[in-house]
Amino acid sequence: MTFNSLTPLKSGVHATGQKNLLVKLLTFHRSVVPGLRRDERRLRGFFVSLLTIIGLTTTACQNQDTTMEADVDAQTIYLVRHAEKTKEDNPGLTEAGKARAEALADRLEDKNITHIHSTKYRRTLATAQPLSERLGIEVALYDPRNLEGFSIDLKDIGSGNHLVVGHSNTTPELTSMLTWDDVEAMPETEYDRLLTVYLDEKGDTIKWTTERYGATK
């Protein structure tokens, strides 16, 4: 009887099945060729060693996957521009803007947000307000004129997920500082871009993504 290969193992359940199969094969081998006890022992030793190696490799891969998942969860930063604004000095939000702020809260309410950051202006504070009220998290102010220092502060905070509400010029710039990557400029008419930056435990960027939220024009 010739054995060519074993199906790759993906879990301990599969490993148990392979061992049971091995026992059946060796039992059949003993009944058919009773005189080959030495070959049987060699064959048994070969398969046991092989299964041990595969099991150790599988465990290592599973541990690596778990570590990567933990790194992804170390810190996530969500960045948006304020929602649609009125036309007065230090404007607030239009009705469409208020609806977008609620849509932002809907989108992030279950994302384990622990910190909410905004500039001091009415339009940014109003965009952050719905999520702040739902989660009971006080909005922390940051200076949009010192984005470099703020980007360092965000990474120094460590674990936890953040929402940062900014402006059409500051949001792409801050994202670029966090990711060391080029980020597309945000035109004055754009309000629905949600940027997400994933950092590991050392504050290094794992990846970053762009998506749309709320009503699109």
Rounded to an integer, what distance in angstroms lies between the CA atom of residue 149 and that of residue 144?
Answer: 10
pTM over 0.75: no
**pLDDT at position 53:** 58
Give Cα 15 distance to the centre of its chain: 30
Q: What's the distance, Cα to Cα, between the start and end of the chain in Å?
A: 69
Give the per-residue pLDDT at 159: 74
**101 pairs with which residues across the strands?**
none
The ranges of the chain with pLDDT < 70 are 1-73, 217
Q: What is the pLDDT of residue 73?
A: 55
